[in-house]
Amino acid sequence: MSDDPGLVTFEDVGTPERDKPPFVRLPEPARLFAARAERFAALAPGHQLEAYLGFLAGLSRAQAALAGAIDAPAPPSLHELRFRAGNAMPVLPREELASDPAVSMAFDRLAALLTDIAMPDIARAALARAVAAEPEARQAMFAAVLTDAVPVEAVAEHIFAAAALQVVAARRSALIDPALPQPVADGVCPCCGGPPVASAVVADLHVEGVRYVQCSLCAVQWNHVRVKCVTCGSTKGIAYQEIEGIADTIKAETCDECRTYVKILNRRKAPELEPVADDVASLGLDLLVTEAGWRRAGVNPFLLGY
């Protein structure tokens, strides 16, 4: 419990409707990617992955610039959106993005924004290959990202494809009525149908200790109660793993029912935590938890090479 009289707990009987956490929180794309860039830059110095985190800071900065420069793809009709929401379907299915010309255009603009950013030669060569690819090959690359089927030998190209897709998907989701999306299934973004990257206990609502799961693709956040598996919805066999001696603000929430885990960040204790950046920087926790036999359920395109 907080001493702040303005805060109420989730369990309070008779919580007024206005104080209930909204089911969905939409992203503010330009701000989201700028904050992520700052977080990557802050995490980099002295980190084992210093060069990589520095590169991702530059990539996120380019994503922020891209988010401010492109138009979002035209949304489906309100009738279609309502139909999907009413039938427990994602309102803006991610599969539609693979063949959307807006994505291909965004990819070209992103590549141009990356011209002056420091990156390893191998990444630069992969980017050049992806830019030069035929339209069908490019569409296949987007489709691979959107179906979580990135070939291991072509991870570098797909990091850039995922970065462009994230911006277009976030721009698209940001425009809809936040009251529209309805629960689809455990571990599925109600907006685009994508898998989660991580979850966070948020600090900026007038309700204490509320957890949101963040979509790996469109960055929409959906409310998910605590001590409940993000993947299968089980409330039994949930445990929390952390690395001893490291800040306890990032934990892996493991589930013995489905043997998966999703990270949970405590932004009440550490507001600077950013789901995508801190997920990459806490790779050590993944090594520990996967070694102990749980499968990672969170998807993060920037972790594909690890």
The answer to whether 176 contacts Zn ion (rule: CB under 5 A) is no
Number of residues that bind Zn ion (CB under 5 A): 15
CA–CA separation, 243 and 183 (whole Å):
32
Helix, strand, or coil (residue 24): strand
Among 57, 159, 229, 299, binds Zn ion (CB under 5 A): 229
Q: Which stretch in 19-27, 67-75, 126-134, 231-239 sits in contact with Zn ion by CB under 5 A?
A: 231-239
Contact 252, 261 (CB under 8 A): yes
Residue 194 binds Zn ion, judged by CB under 5 A: yes
Cross-strand bridge partners of residue 265: 200, 250
**Residues 37, 110, 126, 220: which binds Zn ion (CB under 5 A)?**
220
CB 273 within 8 A of CB 267: yes
- Cα–Cα distance for residue pair 28/36, rounded to 1 Å: 12
Contact of 142 with 98, CB cutoff 8 Å = yes
**8 A C-beta contact, residue 201 and residue 193:** no
Asked whether position 182 contacts Zn ion by CB under 5 A, the answer is no
Residue 43 binding Zn ion, by CB under 5 A: no
Helix count and strand count (H, E) for the chain: 9, 10
Let me know: does 282 contact 276? Beta carbons within 8 Å.
Answer: no
Tokens 């489709």, residue located: 143
Q: Which of residues 67-86 bind Zn ion (CB under 5 A)?
A: none
State yes or no: residue 258 binds Zn ion (CB under 5 A): yes
CB closer to Zn ion, 25 vs 158: 25
Query: Is residue 192 at the binding interface for Zn ion, with CB under 5 A as the rule?
Result: yes
Q: Which of 109, 226, 257, 268 binds Zn ion (CB under 5 A)?
A: 257
Smallest distance from the beta carbon of 257 to Zn ion, in angstroms? Answer: 5
Stretch touching Zn ion by CB under 5 A, among 24-32, 34-42, 64-72, 250-258: 250-258
Does position 231 bind Zn ion by CB under 5 A?
Answer: yes
Q: Which residues of this chain interact with Zn ion, rule CB under 5 A?
A: 189, 191-192, 194, 215, 217-218, 220, 229, 231-232, 234, 255, 257-258
